Structure 1
Amino acid sequence: MLLHLKGVLTPEELATARGLLADEALWLDGRTSAGAQASAVKRNEQLAQDSEAARRLQALVRAAVGRDPLFFSAALPRRLYNPLFNRYRPDAPAYGPHVDGAVLHSHADDAWVRTDLSCTLFLSDPQDYDGGELTIHDTYGTHRIKLPAGDAVLYPGTSVHEVTPVTRGARLASFFWIESMVRSDEQRRLLFELDMNLLRLRQQLGETRETLALSGVYHNLLRLWATP
């Protein structure tokens, strides 16, 4: 499942994030955090994880996704890898096709996270840079994603993906991974679809015996499949 999350950051939060990611921020060669396979195709910059700017931004992003009901419904998060931040410019332009590691260790909070889901939160407006599409390859084809600043995309961690070369301007983003309470992508998708349709039924009909019964089905499936 690939999902566009709109308005994850408020305009005020977006302005704060951009200020913290200005040129004086401590940017490092992105290959310092990549494994052997990824380092061969990774050409970007990454904010130092132990910097004060990173700590403030991590708290900001965690708070934003934590209050987003669509993110919770789709991801059913059990554990989050502490958010990271990257920058693409013409002299550090791209990240070639790769697959993220299945289990990653976060030095910020010493947590091991299974990467069931990946999330990219866009911090630059699309008109501020050329290129830089997050391109996801899956069994349904190729998806090229370039979202408004403050929006995010959630997609399976199993996907082959890349960031196409930035030829003008700078592309700023946060990225992180989610270990879900429901490990199966298919089960998460079914639960999400059930939850969204229950929401629509309640908006149309109010609370009825049928919506109550379907709510019970949702929670019983979650109880069956979840590992909290």
Structure 2
Amino acid sequence: MLLHIPEVLSKAEVQTLRKALDEAGWVSGLATAGPQAAQAKDNEQLSPDSPAFAALSERVSAALQRHPLFVSAVLPRHVLPPMFNRYQGGGQYGNHIDNALQTDRRSGQVVRTDVSTTVFLSEPDEYEGGELIVEDSYGTHEVKLAAGDAIVYPSTSLHRVEPVRSGARVASFLWTQSLVRDAWRRAMLFELDMTIVKLRGRIGDNAEVTALTGHYHKLLQQWAE
């Protein structure tokens, strides 16, 4: 499931992050690329060893985890620390699939990457190119969102970042291990949850809405790990 999550960060929060990122300094993205990724990756990143990294990463993580759409769609069990990248001057990242397992640098825990997330920190008119292209069973999707908005999608999806022809594309990116491993089951739970929310808003908590809520939690109980 590919889902647009609006207003994860306010415009003021985005500007604060952008200023701090530029002051902290950027390094080559190849520092965190494996041998295969290095052939396709041309960007800059904030080094996880930067003194500014932990606080900036926590701001993004906290914003996502208090957003109801992110929680409902992703059902996070373990959110890896968000990282930051910048593409400019033709920078791009060719077709790739994210690693199935990542190590949480805070705890050393190995985490399964079920869901990938990108939080855009540049407005679309600040750069040309730089679209996130995600391919799934429904086709090819082009994503270029407002600053502060996020996109979530299964980490098994083939995806790329198109070359940035002018300006700079700044974003935060991260991976999450979900309580529900299977993407189709997560999608079904999300659709059921959104239906319940709409019904509650329209008719309140009657017997039928309460029953649907019960079915949601029974399914979550069956599928959660």
TM-score (norm 1): 0.96
How many residue pairs align between the two structures?
225
Aligned partner of 1:67 in structure 2 is 66
Q: CA deviation at 1:168?
A: 0.4
Matches within 5 A, 1:121-160: 121-160=119-158
User: How do 1:86-125 and structure 2 match up within 5 A?
Assistant: 86-90=85-89, 93-125=91-123
2:11–2:147 CA contact under 8 A, matched in 1 = no
The Cα offsets for residues 148-180 of structure 1, whole Å up to 9 and x where unpaired, read as: 000000000000000000010100000000100
Q: Which amino acid aligns with 2:152?
A: L
Q: CA deviation at 1:82?
A: 0.8
Alpha-carbon distance in structure 2 between the residues aligned to 1:4 and 1:211: 26
SS in 1 for 2:24: coil
Gaps of at least 5 residues in structure 2 are: none
- Supply the AA of the counterpart residue of 1:195: D
* Counterparts of residues 1-228 of structure 1 (less than 5 Å): 1-22=1-22, 24-90=23-89, 93-227=91-225
- Distance apart, 1:138 and its partner CA: 1.2
Aligned mates of 1:106, 1:47 — CA distance in 2: 16
Q: Where in structure 1 do 4 or more consecutive aligned residues deviate above 3 Å?
A: none
Distance (whole Å) between structure 2 residues aligned to residue 42 and residue 109 of structure 1: 27
Contact 1:82 1:109 in 2 (8 A): no
CA distance in 2, matches of 1:122, 1:207: 36
Percent identity over the alignment is: 50
CA deviation vs aligned residue, 1:95-140 (integer Å, no higher than 9, x gap): 0000111001132442321110000000000100000000001111
Q: Tell whether the 8 Å contact from 1:74 to 1:189 is kept in structure 2 after alignment.
A: yes
Residues in 2 aligned to 1:30 and 1:45: alpha-carbon distance in whole angstroms: 4
SS in 1 for 2:209: helix
Instruction: Tell me the secondary structure at the aligned position of residue 158 of structure 1.
Output: coil
Asked if structure 2 preserves the Cα contact closer than 8 Å seen for 1:74 and 1:188, the reply is yes
Q: What's the offset of the Cα at 1:21?
A: 1.4
Alignment partners' CA distance in 2, 1:129 and 1:143: 19
- Structure 1: gaps (5+ residues): none
What is the CA RMSD across the aligned residues, in angstroms? 1.0
Q: Shift of residue 15 of structure 1?
A: 1.7
Cα distance, 1:26 vs structure 2:
2.6
Judge conservation of contact 1:50–1:108 (CA < 8 Å) in 2.
no
Q: Tell me whether 98-107 or 153-162 shows the greater mean CA deviation.
A: 98-107
